[in-house]
Amino acid sequence: MLKANDFEGRDVISIKDFTREEIDFILKTASRMAPLVEKGSDLLRGKILATLFFEPSTRTRLSFEASMHRLGGSVIGFSQPGVSSVAKGESLADTVRVVENYADVIVIRHPLEGAARLAAEFAQVPVINAGSGSEEHPTQALLDLHTILEAKGRIDGLKIALLGDLRYGRTVHSLAYALSNYDVELFLVSPPQLRMKREVLKDIKGKIQVVEMDDLTPLLQDLDVLYVTRIQKERFPDPLEYEKVKGSYRIDKKLLESGREDLIVMHPLPRITEIAPDVDETPQAWYFKEVRHGLYVRMALLALILGAIK
């Protein structure tokens, strides 16, 4: 049987490093954290989190910071590499070996794939990946799962579509890996240029039923969860390729009329044009509710990794 202290000192680099049992344990712990958002707690008093953000972020960085504060801990770090010694040419490995002296846990976001793994190899303290290029975003996948559980009460048995940029979007890579531990039907809907990364597809195909398609319409009336993503403009090697797919899909209130009443629409945010504002007032809109789950899940992870829950 899995115990809370089995998580102590662990890195969170890829969601693939976690079994279903471990994921379920984290999700359960996250539910226990929900009341502490209002009440506060001193579970992590005296602990320090360092946030090293080499890429823009609103939600992920602020929710890690808020999670740490809610549990009585403190936060140091930077959100613009230009203001740290990285601007002088310091390597990531050196930065990490310095920061580990100041903090008990490091959260890192970096534009390069493999960066979080590299940081973890050099750091003596646990490292949490807050987004590594277009590779993965494991804590987002955990909060996505926690949101689905709140909305549907289960993950097994659901029909879930991931819509959008499945090639460069890291949240959908982690979410697809995470969902492959459950008994779900997964539909991957995207323009042909933005199909799911082959290595992800190869990994999940043997585990769950996966269908790739480029049109959502025939699916909509059967779906339980529609997970929409932004086209990752900044990750296109060629701007002309971006121009070809720009604005190629958009969810609006009218379209949702052909979906089930209990369909939920999710999005990791930021949303650009892929979900029309008229969806915001519908009961199907779950993307702003997801943000709250980011706190629960990150509070749980920090408490588990820092050995504060026995």
Q: Which residues bind ligand NCD (CB under 6 A)?
A: 59-60, 131, 137, 140, 170-171, 230, 268-269
Q: CB-wise, 100 or 144, nearer to ligand NCD?
A: 144
- Rounded to a whole number of angstroms, the minimum distance from the CB of residue 13 to ligand NCD is 15
Residue number with the smallest Cβ distance to ligand NCD: 268
- Rounded to a whole number of angstroms, the minimum distance from the CB of residue 173 to ligand NCD is 10
Q: CB-wise, 48 or 62, nearer to ligand NCD?
A: 62
* Phi, psi at 139, each rounded to 5°: -75, -25
- Rounded to a whole number of angstroms, the minimum distance from the CB of residue 297 to ligand NCD is 12
- Rounded to a whole number of angstroms, the minimum distance from the CB of residue 4 to ligand NCD is 26
Q: CB-wise, 47 or 170, nearer to ligand NCD?
A: 170
Closest among 189, 114, 176, 168 to 144, alpha carbons compared: 176
d(C-alpha 4, C-alpha 303), whole Å: 9
d(C-alpha 246, C-alpha 240), whole Å: 10
- Rounded to a whole number of angstroms, the minimum distance from the CB of residue 124 to ligand NCD is 27
d(C-alpha 137, C-alpha 1), whole Å: 27
Q: CB-wise, 136 or 224, nearer to ligand NCD?
A: 136
Closest among 42, 62, 47, 50 to 8, alpha carbons compared: 47
Sheet holding 48-53, edge to edge: 74-78, 48-53, 105-110, 127-132
Q: Are 57 and 131 in contact (CB under 8 A)?
A: yes
- Rounded to a whole number of angstroms, the minimum distance from the CB of residue 56 to ligand NCD is 8
d(C-alpha 107, C-alpha 221), whole Å: 40
Q: CB-wise, 70 or 170, nearer to ligand NCD?
A: 170
Q: CB-wise, 137 or 293, nearer to ligand NCD?
A: 137
Q: Are 280 and 125 in contact (CB under 8 A)?
A: no
